[in-house]
Structure 1
Amino acid sequence: MVLQALFDLPTRLLNAFILQEATQDDNLDYEDVDSTPAMLRESPATPEEIDHHDGSKDIADHCKVKRNLAAKNRRKRKRAEAKRAYHNPREHPRHKLDSRAQYVDFDANDIPVVQTGYIALDRGLGSRRVYRLAELVGESSKFKFTLVKAQSASIPILDSQNHIIGVIANHPKDDSWTELQKQAADALESKRSSCHVPAKERTHRRGKFTTLRAGVSHGGGQRAPGNLKNHKVNAKILEELNSLEPFKRFAGFASSVMYTWFNDLYHYYASTLDKLHLAYPRLHRIFPQSIFSAVSYNLGPRTVCFPHKDFANLAFGMCAITALGDYDYTKGGHLILWDLKLVIEFPPGCTILIPSALLTHSNVPVSKNERRYSFAQYTAGGIFRWVENGCQSREQYLSTLSQTQIEEDAERNANRWKFGMSLLSDTLKYQCVDE
């Protein structure tokens, strides 16, 4: 593929640069991480470099050194295997064969993004209110949007150019899934009162609910990718949530959905994150089996979003949202996709993938005696920019290029949005049934 070749990052860029020490703004919500790529740091001694004192060292000590080295190498291999676990996701072709496509009169090519194509444009706060179901669907409604009812089969959302711009993935055919979602909802409910979140931060541009974030991100003035930093109380809560089986399962399922429906995009993520974690081993991968670099736990008690875009996520990338709680999904909790004029029933335990940077989205409110939470997975567009710039800032990257290379870089930037759209276009490998 010509476009893919255009965007492959030359290996020389990861082997021939020296980064300045990245500093962190104290006001940013990130941990300090050494921005010097791993291959430029001092490496541990190899067996040949260990001083054996010209044969005078005791044989037992020599054997102990060898055992320690062997154990160290085993641990290193296990870490490498864990980091690459997302390379072995489960594909579900049956989900494509059984699916029924939801077509929309919309062309994703027309969505405005920044010039380089990595992130979407920030169109401001939007409306800080929620919209009830009666306002959105039905003959007497104000907007007359299309209602998409929940069903067992997956529902890909296709635009007028046959790009997949979302997948209503529902959940696996697993008898334990209902219990898993209940366990996850109970965990979020039990942790909310313990969170250290000031009252003023419980209302934000996404809605009125408590949220905790974890993982790796890049943006907002940060000079290099870093681990999201939290108050020590919240860090402990996040550690506990990340260790729970339900969230591990949700992460694995969302990655399998991505692999099944967005295979080219999945491999673009995998290649990028491989390079990032090779250069910066201290960056945390929350779930080894997840293709996403960051998560948000939205602890409610009634997680209902205002209309918004997550513009800092990869513009043509996906955000996986898993709904949790105890509510009547036919009356509330729906996912509203404003640009597509869709209102989607969103039962607890189900997962939907959308390009959250591109599409304005929100939720229908649930009743006051109900509980709704969500678990979101995503990756910042700045991470892809950083890696494709040779794991350095834009300014540093450009300073290493010749005039010819600068022109080639400008061509890549001009074509990145087209490249991104091409990653959403392998839909018809399996024929969807038209509704």
Structure 2
Amino acid sequence: MNDGAATSVTDIADRCILYRAATGRYAPAINRLLLEARKHRRPLDPYTSTGYRGSQGSFQQYEYMLHHGSVQNPQMSVGYTNNQAMVDRILEILTPVCNIVNAIFTWIFPRLYAQYVHVNEQIQKRHPCLRPLFYPFCSFCINMEGIQYKLHEDCKNFATGMCYVIPFGDLDYKKEGQLIIKELNMEFEVAPGVPIFFPSALFHHYNSQLIGLGIRGSFVAWTSGSLMQWVDLEGRALDQLTKAEVKDYKCCVKDRIQEGLNLLI
């Protein structure tokens, strides 16, 4: 999918399972804003080697999250709480990017967008001090320093939801850095500043090697599956359920997956 026009991929049920925005007039402005936001990340801030013990690749990844991990209630990540002023400044810079992405999200995935809004409302109803960091997505990260992803899937993301990726930097996107999705047997040229939406928990994906002297970073936003589950369980973690409730919950897994997939219609 390599002509720069907006591109969508649908499955046999006519559900949109991938959408790449057009390489249009907004892309250069988004790229500039992401490069500007990148400057506000302090050089000595800690970063992870892309999580999953580096299995995604070797580059710097700075994560800021509203998540639900091993504790009973959702919480803001340490990466955010230790760097709140910096992250808030980054989010201020990226407000126009958020507005553009939300316009695309509500247009292409209106039912899914409504589900994300509902999840945020339920979280904030029970915990008003918590906030989604790139509304309606709860978490985001900035990946830096010549990124090349290895083949992987993002198993912690909401399985039937979307994450989106926006590459930024200076590279020849027609020759390098293409997004490749294994299950679709397709590759996508994604210019700096262009958002692409896909269910990263379902599809194994990676990007092609950088062959020139250009630089590539990426901005990624998502909501975790564990947050969706917490809301689905009415503000409880799975280990807070009775044995009977756990049994009933597990029996309905297929129905919930189908309901989630139907949000893509």
Q: Same fold (TM over 0.5)?
A: yes
Larger Rg: 1
Q: What displacement does 1:296 show? A: 0.6
Counterparts in 2 of 1:260 and 1:279: CA distance versus 1, 3 Å = same
Quote the residue 1:193 is aligned against: 43
Instruction: Provide the residue aligned with 1:77 in structure 2.
Output: none
Indicate whether 1:228 and 2:80 are aligned: no
Matched, 1:169 2:21: yes
Q: Kindly tell me: are residues 186 and 270 of structure 1, through their superposed partners in 2, closer, same or farther at Cα, counting changes over 3 Å?
A: closer
Mapped to 2, the partners of 1:198 and 1:173 lie a distance apart of 34
Partner of 1:309: 153
Q: Point out where structure 2 has 5 or more consecutive residues left out of the alignment.
A: none
Matched residue SS, 1:258:
helix
Return the structure number with greater strand share. Answer: 2
Give how far 1:407 is off.
7.6
Q: Mark the CA change 1:326 to 1:170 in structure 2 (over 3 Å): closer, same or farther.
A: same
Paired position in structure 2 for 1:22 = none
Report the equivalent of 1:151. 4
TM-score (norm 2): 0.88
Equivalents in 2 of 1:171, 1:235: separation in Å?
A: 32
Q: How big is the shift at 1:171?
A: 5.5
1:16-415 → structure 2 map (5 Å cutoff): 148-152=1-5, 154-170=6-22, 173-174=25-26, 177-188=27-38, 191=41, 193-197=43-47, 204-219=54-69, 221-230=70-79, 234-244=83-93, 247-287=94-134, 290-298=135-143, 300-367=144-211, 369-398=213-242, 409=249, 412-415=252-255
Q: CA deviation at 1:196?
A: 3.0
Structure-1 separation of matches of 2:28 and 2:257 = 39
Post-superposition shift, 1:424? 1.6
| Cα deviations by residue, 1:123-166 (Å, 9 ceiling, x for unpaired) | xxxxxxxxxxxxxxxxxxxxxxxxx10423x2111123322111
CA 1:273–1:333: 2 relative to 1, 3 Å? same
By how many angstroms is 1:256 displaced? 2.1
Q: 1:200 to 1:156 in 2, by over 3 A?
A: closer
**TM-score of the pair, normalised by structure 1:** 0.56
SS class of match (2:9): strand
Q: Summarize the Cα distance change of 1:372–1:339 in structure 2 as closer, same or farther, 3 Å threshold.
A: same
> In 1, distance between residues paired with 2:83 and 2:128?
23
RMSD: 2.7
C-alpha separation in 1, matches of 2:98 and 2:148: 21
Alignment deviations for residues 300-332 of structure 1 (CA, whole Å, 9 cap, x no partner):
221221111111111000001111100001111
Query: For residues 327 and 306 of structure 1, what CA distance do their matches in structure 2 show?
Result: 19
Match of 1:417 in 2: 257
- Distance, in Å, in 1 between the alignment partners of 2:188 and 2:129 is 39
The C-alpha deviation readout for 1:93-151, integer Å capped at 9, x for no partner, is xxxxxxxxxxxxxxxxxxxxxxxxxxxxxxxxxxxxxxxxxxxxxxxxxxxxxxx1042
What letter corresponds to residue 181 of structure 1 in structure 2?
A: N
Partner of 1:137: none
Letter matched to residue 338 of structure 1: K
Amino acid at match of 2:190: F
| Aligned residues of 2:9 and 2:19 also touching (Cα < 8 A) | yes
Gaps of 5+ in 1: 1-147, 426-435
Change in 2 beyond 3 A, CA 1:250/1:230: same
The 1:233/1:155 distance shift into structure 2, 3 A limit, reads: same
Q: Counterpart of 1:208 in 2: which secondary structure? A: coil
1:150·1:344 contact (CA, 8 Å) conserved in 2?
Answer: no
Q: Distance in 2 between matches of 1:229 and 1:150?
A: 41
